[in-house]
Amino acid sequence: MSEKQITVSSDESSTGSLPREGGNESNVDIVLTYVKIVGVGGRHIGEKSLIRKIDWRIVPIMFACYTMQFIDKVLINYAAVMGLPKDLKLQGNQFTWAATSFFIAYLVAEIPTGYLLQKIPAGKYLGANVILWGIATGCTAAANNFTSLVAARVFLGVFEAAIAPSLTIITGMWYTTSEQPPRFGLWYCGLGLGQLVGGIVSYGFQHVKGESLEGWRVMFIVLGIVTVVVGAVTLLLLPDTPMTASFLTEEEKVVAINRIGGNQTGIGNRSFKWSQIKELAMDMQIYLMILVTILCSVSSGVITTYSATLIRNFGYTPPIAALLNMPSGVVSITVTILSGIAVGKASNRWLWITGLAIPGALGGGLMSFLPNSNRGGLLAGIYLVNSIVAVLVITFNWLSANVAGHTKRTVSMSLVSGAFSIGNIIGPQTFQAKDAPNFYPAKIAVLATQAGAALVAIILRVYYRWQNSKKEKRSAVTQNLPQDFMWLNLTDKENPNFRYVY
């Protein structure tokens, strides 16, 4: 690498210097130290076979974690029709507040998560938190009143806050920008599987007639144990980085690293840089990402917490309501896979967010304005609203591709994950006891917020095109980039070669 320093203009017209190889190692990516020792030369490794090898180790673990995260979060949805409110003597809006407490804790926990993920390997941090939220899920069975139920949900929210930022970081360190969307989609399909499994599990446990434990309590205990097992597997088998992956040879590690250099987002750096926090605070894309996440998450909060209740209010028995919630999982899986493949091929993230909002808004309209006698149309509305769930994974992928600089990336991912919890706080709060059984204000909120998400996605597309045009004009005056510039922990604004995808 050249010892010559070069000046880089940021989008705020500030100047700075690229760190030199012989400079402070805390300023550069951990890969740079590794390649000094091992080298970066090409090896006789087939890239396709290497990708398959990585896929089979990494994706199933991420998929299992996200599946259990969703199931554990929504068990309260199924428990609501299994007698939990009656057994705990909940009154008025107490069930709504119990559901909301999870997301309040989730939001607060994102503040330290952004810092801890800078210091702790994402795989280890994720595995530990999966075990802890599995314990919290099992402890929910011990709740005997509103206060104890809220306590269990708060701990569950604190530990589940690790899931989205961790999985986003892990996906970004293993796959190229074009490979990331389908992998994001694969692990995010855990949400759809969670909806399918949740319906079956709820139906089954509603037939448990124990003398000492109600069916919903047994359900929490069993699923909690399953989650702890998944967390233990994650701790043991998910590597911290490609450099420490025991399932890869040294040659395969070098190829894996070289493959993702073109992302220009790096793999990891343990130094927390306040300069990147300052840049993040002034970056318009972060605020737009937060807004689109909040808007799409309002309907997610409604469906996550109240879909089984809504279906039961259509006149179905609790066991049948649990089963009729399962097609929502089919919709979630379908739109997630289709959007992941399409975005990976055409990089049209803004268009898919806008397109997915259309059936979501249509579903909100059916839920809002059809009479209760039209049960088929109302069920179709609930199923269509689930198309919006894919927007969140597209947003996380968009963020992963467009934010560089390790401190900026980890903190921005935590902020957007926190925005998800804000939407989920708003969603259940639109359900007020006084609006039962139709809950028209909540249904109209679903319709309005999904239309708003589509509008913000279009604004993001215009913003990124504008930023790229500015970079094109400035790139002509930037010369002599160091050979290893992609490992210098530069932010997307500091790096003159960085281009935003949309």
3-state SS, 179-221, equals: CHHHHHHHHHHHHHHHHHHHHHHHHHHCCCCCCCCCHHHHHHH
**Per-residue pLDDT at 404:** 85
pLDDT for 282 beyond 90? yes
Q: The tokens 């939990």 sit on which residue?
A: 84
Q: The tokens 């320093």 sit on which residue?
A: 5
237 and 300: one domain? no
181 and 102: one domain? yes
**Per-residue pLDDT at 475:** 67
pLDDT band, very low/low/confident/very high, at 33 (cuts 50, 70, 90) = low
220 and 344: one domain? no
Contact 98, 149 (CB under 8 A): yes
Residue 461 lies in a domain: yes
Please write the tens of the pLDDT for every residue from 166-175.
999 999 889 9
- Mean pLDDT over 230-242 rounds to 93
Residue whose C-alpha is closest to residue 296's, from 306, 288, 285: 288
User: Can you spell out the DSSP letters for 365-381?
Assistant: HHHHHS-TT-HHHHHHH
pLDDT for 327 beyond 80? yes
- Mean pLDDT over 339-364 rounds to 85
Residue 23 lies in a domain: no
pLDDT for 39 beyond 60? no
Q: Which of 56-70, 302-316, 472-486 has the lowest mean pLDDT?
A: 472-486
Contact 332, 195 (CB under 8 A): yes
Question: Rounded mean pLDDT of the chain?
Answer: 82
235 and 141: one domain? yes
Q: Which of 244, 265, 288 is the last residue of a domain?
A: 244
**Per-residue pLDDT at 320:** 84
The residue ranking higher by pLDDT, 158 or 77, is 158
Q: What percent of the chain has pLDDT over 70?
A: 83
- Mean pLDDT over 205-216 rounds to 78
160 and 105: one domain? yes
Residue 151 makes CB contacts below 8 A (sequence gap 6+) with: 143
**Per-residue pLDDT at 483:** 59
126 and 175: one domain? yes
228 and 359: one domain? no
Residue 263 lies in a domain: no
pLDDT for 212 beyond 90? no
Q: Which of 48-57, 432-441, 444-453 has the lowest mean pLDDT?
A: 432-441
pLDDT band, very low/low/confident/very high, at 317 (cuts 50, 70, 90) = confident
pLDDT for 37 beyond 60? no
Residue 497 lies in a domain: yes
Instruction: List the domain range (segments joined by +) for residue 149.
Output: 44-244
Structural domain count, the chain? 2
pLDDT for 51 beyond 80? yes
- Mean pLDDT over 228-234 rounds to 97
**Per-residue pLDDT at 14:** 37
**Per-residue pLDDT at 151:** 95
The residue ranking higher by pLDDT, 439 or 450, is 450
pLDDT band, very low/low/confident/very high, at 178 (cuts 50, 70, 90) = confident
**Per-residue pLDDT at 13:** 37
Assign 2 to helix, strand or coil. Answer: coil
**Per-residue pLDDT at 88:** 92
CATH of the domain at 153: 1.20.1250.20
Residue 36 lies in a domain: no
Please write the tens of the pLDDT for every residue from 379-427.
888 888 888 888 888 998 898 889 988 889 888 988 998 898 888 888 7
**Per-residue pLDDT at 296:** 84
pLDDT band, very low/low/confident/very high, at 20 (cuts 50, 70, 90) = very low
Q: What percent of the chain has pLDDT over 90?
A: 28
287 and 203: one domain? no
409 and 358: one domain? yes
pLDDT band, very low/low/confident/very high, at 29 (cuts 50, 70, 90) = low
**Per-residue pLDDT at 16:** 40
Residue whose C-alpha is closest to residue 51's, from 167, 176, 187: 176
Which residue intervals of 370-494 are DSSP H helices?
375-385, 389-402, 406-429, 440-475
Please write the tens of the pLDDT for every residue from 70-92.
899 988 888 887 889 898 998 88
**Per-residue pLDDT at 266:** 62
pLDDT for 222 beyond 50? yes
**Per-residue pLDDT at 205:** 84
Output the pTM of the full model.
0.80
- Mean pLDDT over 149-172 rounds to 94
Residue whose C-alpha is closest to residue 397's, from 355, 336, 330, 451: 336
176 and 307: one domain? no
- Mean pLDDT over 350-371 rounds to 82
437 and 316: one domain? yes
Residue 215 lies in a domain: yes
Q: What is the C-alpha separation between 272 and 125, in angstroms, rounded?
A: 17
pLDDT for 11 beyond 50? no
Contact 199, 207 (CB under 8 A): no
Residue 443 makes CB contacts below 8 A (sequence gap 6+) with: 302, 364, 367, 368
The winner for highest mean pLDDT among 89-98, 154-163, 250-259 is 154-163
Residue 16 lies in a domain: no
Residue 126 lies in a domain: yes
283 and 226: one domain? no
